[in-house]
Amino acid sequence: MVYWIFWTIVNIALRVFYKRLYISGADKIPNRKPVILACNHPNSFLDAISLTVQLKRPLYFFARSDAMNTPLKRKLLGLFNIHPIYRIQEGKENLLKNEGTFNIGYNVLKNNGTVFIHSEGICVVEKRLRKLKKGTARMAFHAFDNNNFELDTHVVPVGFNYTYPRHFRQELILSLGEPFPVSNFKEIYIDNPAVAINKFNEKLNEELVKNVVIIKNQQNDQLCEELFIIQRNNNPQSLFPWKTKNNKRFLREKKLADTVNQISESNSVIYNSASKKVKQYFEQLKKLGITDLFLLKNKYHLLLSTLLSIILFPIYAFGKLLNSLPIFLGKIITKK
């Protein structure tokens, strides 16, 4: 009951927080089967709640135990199907407690439920995929082993791709990949569980790479982000519908990032020339006080944008003033 009340509230709130949402592959999630949603983790709790409200099925989550370090926190978060998972960072002596956590996951999967796991095990705000932890594989094999290798669990790779993760009224691109059954690793697991875990992670990493926009090197971040701006402006989207159910936007951004990655590794002359020109272009825009989008608009669009900015400014100013105190207090509480 509490879960679905929260689901409804968050569903409405995210339509305000995000300017637009793109999702593809949700129809690939198996019905009436145990499912593990194995995800990357670029944006803290927003990852979990953003996918939750796109699926009309209850999800069960596993969060860092240090975020649930009091009985009250565990009780409250338990109302939203969130359970602690213990990492080596929280103390080696606590790792044995994961047996209870895995049993919760097993019971969910045994009843054809859906488990949500951040397979990277850590949240880093960047367009890169980090080395996967072993928790997802252990959860999958624990349930598989405890059900005499008959549980038909499927793992669905999920890529979270944000335009600007920490900014209001930006966009989220969700890409769900092809599910694969845990039973594919049965023979390897029976022979050698450690090898099976590594093989599982290799497969999961391979599938996540297909669904995440990845900028391999940090030195390419600025060039990619500026090219994303140009590409997005050249492919404008209408204000409605708020949610788009196809992978066109994802594929464009994925292709652009992959191209930059490839050129930066194979042809430094072309890469350096492109970087210089794009940098100069945006520096010139800044000097002129305009944006790339401004150059694409005709005079009627410019007039309309200017009028709307003037008309809506009082609403913006009131909202800014109204939210300044809660934001200020929130920052103080977070620091403490």
Regarding whether 156 and 33 lie in a shared domain, the answer is: yes
75 domain residue, yes or no: yes
Among residues 188, 209, 230, which one ends one of the domains? 209
Regarding whether 60 and 18 lie in a shared domain, the answer is: yes
Task: List the chain pLDDT tens, one digit each, 336 residues.
Answer: 789 998 999 999 999 899 999 999 999 999 999 999 999 999 988 999 999 999 999 999 988 787 777 888 888 888 889 988 887 777 777 788 888 888 999 999 999 999 999 999 889 999 999 999 999 999 999 999 999 999 999 999 999 999 999 898 899 999 999 999 999 999 999 999 999 999 999 999 999 999 999 999 999 999 999 999 999 999 988 878 999 999 999 999 999 999 999 999 999 999 999 999 999 999 999 999 999 988 876 656 667 667 777 887 787 777 777 667 666 665 665 555
303 domain residue, yes or no: no
Regarding whether 198 and 59 lie in a shared domain, the answer is: yes
Regarding whether 240 and 164 lie in a shared domain, the answer is: no
- The CATH number that applies at residue 47 is 3.40.1130.10
Regarding whether 101 and 238 lie in a shared domain, the answer is: no
pLDDT of 333 = 56
255 domain residue, yes or no: yes
Q: What are phi and psi of 128, to 5 degrees?
A: -145, 155
Q: Which two tokens stand for residue 283?
A: 């520096």
The single-letter code of the amino acid at 220 is N
317 domain residue, yes or no: no
> Is the overall model pTM greater than 0.95, yes or no?
no
pLDDT of 95 = 82
Regarding whether 34 and 150 lie in a shared domain, the answer is: yes
Instruction: List the domain range (segments joined by +) for residue 273.
Output: 218-296
Among residues 149, 178, 209, which one ends one of the domains? 209
Regarding whether 229 and 204 lie in a shared domain, the answer is: no
pLDDT of 336 = 54
